């Protein structure tokens, strides 16, 4: 995985999210599981006990529960910027699935690729960015017209 | 007549060839020439690229440090000091800023960098006075800073 071959991005928040009100970036959660398969045991347990509390705790996220005949249970998370993330939860316990859900809730929908820097500022320079004249002393005196001797000498010529 | 053995002659020789090739060729898409398309050339090129990437991760740390050091040296020479003098006196005054932060300060906060240079200069003068004077008067404020480990 080279740095040029794989995509990368800078650290950012979605529209300066925490500055004013915090908006949860998770739009929709679809829990796809099977009613009888053994791999969805943890999911079924989570749906019995934890889903309603989760939905009450996060009123801005819509939770869809869809039992289907499927081999691998999945949680599909859609974010406000349109990114879709699928987590496969075969064989996980109810507690592990709630941890997965908290992780998905806390994520913004930005791509999970290499971050170029672990920090970001909009205003990196407070005292003024350096330029070649910052540390040079200013000119000796105020700018005035030339001396009168020089003027008389020029007029004589 | 019934041909029963005909169907036994049809073999599926691995259904995943396309994806196995794509797994490697997708890392070569930004290369030049045929090595971004043809598998046998791409394999060699991608392996080299990964080896260079591994080696480069260790070299990047060295390059960044030399870049910071050259920037701090240039900035301190603007204020009439040299890099080793600046860093040595800053460590003696227990200023534990690393080179990355000091180089960023030299670029974005030139006045704070000037104050750091003045601290280093004061500590240097105190060191000279302590070495040459050998008197019992207290040397100065900066040399009495407790050095943290």
What pLDDT was estimated at residue B60? 96
- Please report, in angstroms and rounded to a whole number, the separation of the first and last CA atoms in chain B: 93
Closest Cα in chain A to B56: A2
Q: Note every long-range contact of B86-90, with CB atoms under 8 Å and residues 24 or more positions apart, other chains counting.
A: B86/B116, B86/B117, B86/B120, B89/B119, B89/B120, B89/B121, B89/B123, B89/B124, B89/B127, B90/B116, B90/B119, B90/B120, B90/B123
Judge: B108–A3 Cβ closer than 8 Å, yes or no.
no
pTM: 0.82
Cα–Cα–Cα angle for B95, B70, B108, rounded to 5 degrees: 65
Quickly state the pLDDT bin for A147 (edges 50, 70, 90): confident
Q: Interface pTM (ipTM) of the complex?
A: 0.77
Nearest CB to A125 within list B78, B79, B108: B108
Q: How far apart are CA B64 and CA B83, in angstroms?
A: 16
Angle at A13 between CA A8 and CA A14, to 5 degrees: 105
Which residues does chain B have within 8 Å of residue A124's beta carbon, measured at their own beta carbons? 108
Number of residues in chain A: 157
Contact residues, chain B, for A126 at CB < 8 Å: 108-109
Q: CA angle A9-A121-A101, nearest 5°?
A: 55
Q: Which of B75, B78, B110 sits opposite A127 (nearest CB)?
A: B110
**What are the φ and ψ backbone dihedral angles of A49, each rounded to 5 degrees?**
-105, -40
pLDDT single digits (tens) B69-102: 999 999 999 999 999 999 999 999 999 999 999 9
Q: pLDDT tens across B28-50, in order? A: 999 999 999 999 999 999 999 99
pLDDT band at A150 (very low <50, low <70, confident <90, very high): low
Query: What number of other Cβ atoms are within 10 A of residue A94's Cβ?
Result: 17
Tell me the two tokens of residue B147: 């050095």
CA distance B31 to chain A (A): 9
Establish if B57 touches chain A: CB-CB under 8 angstroms: no
Look at residue A151 in the predicted model and tell me its pLDDT.
57
- pLDDT band at residue A58, thresholds of 50, 70 and 90? very high
């Amino acid at each position: 995985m080279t740095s040029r071959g794989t995509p990368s991005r800078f650290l950012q928040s979605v529209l300066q999210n925490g500055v004013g009100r915090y908006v949860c970036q998770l739009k929709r959660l679809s829990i796809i599981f099977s009613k009888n398969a053994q791999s969805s045991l943890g999911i079924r347990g989570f749906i019995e006990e934890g889903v309603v509390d989760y939905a009450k705790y996060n009123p801005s996220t819509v939770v869809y529960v869809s039992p289907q005949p499927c081999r691998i249970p999945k949680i599909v998370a859609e974010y406000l910027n349109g990114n879709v993330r699928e987590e496969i939860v075969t064989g996980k316990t109810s507690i592990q699935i709630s941890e997965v859900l908290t992780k998905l809730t806390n994520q913004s929908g930005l791509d999970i690729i290499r971050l170029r820097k672990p920090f970001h500022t909009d205003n990196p320079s407070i005292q003024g960015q350096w330029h070649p004249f910052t540390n040079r002393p200013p000119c000796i005196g105020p700018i005035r017209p030339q001396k009168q001797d020089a003027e008389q000498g020029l007029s004589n010529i | 007549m019934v041909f029963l053995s005909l169907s036994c002659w049809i073999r599926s020789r691995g259904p995943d060839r396309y994806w196995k090739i794509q797994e490697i060729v997708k890392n070569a898409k930004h290369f030049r020439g045929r090595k971004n398309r043809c598998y046998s050339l791409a394999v060699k090129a991608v392996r080299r690229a990964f080896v260079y990437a591994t080696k480069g991760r260790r070299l990047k740390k060295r390059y960044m440090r030399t870049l910071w050091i050259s920037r701090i040296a240039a900035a301190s020479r603007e204020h009439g000091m040299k890099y080793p003098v600046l860093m040595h006196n800053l460590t003696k005054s227990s200023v534990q800023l690393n080179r990355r932060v000091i180089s960023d300060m030299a670029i974005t906060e030139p006045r704070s960098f000037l104050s750091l240079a003045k601290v280093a200069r004061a500590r240097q003068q105190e060191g000279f006075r302590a070495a040459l004077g050998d008197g019992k008067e207290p040397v100065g404020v900066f040399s009495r800073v407790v050095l943290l480990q």
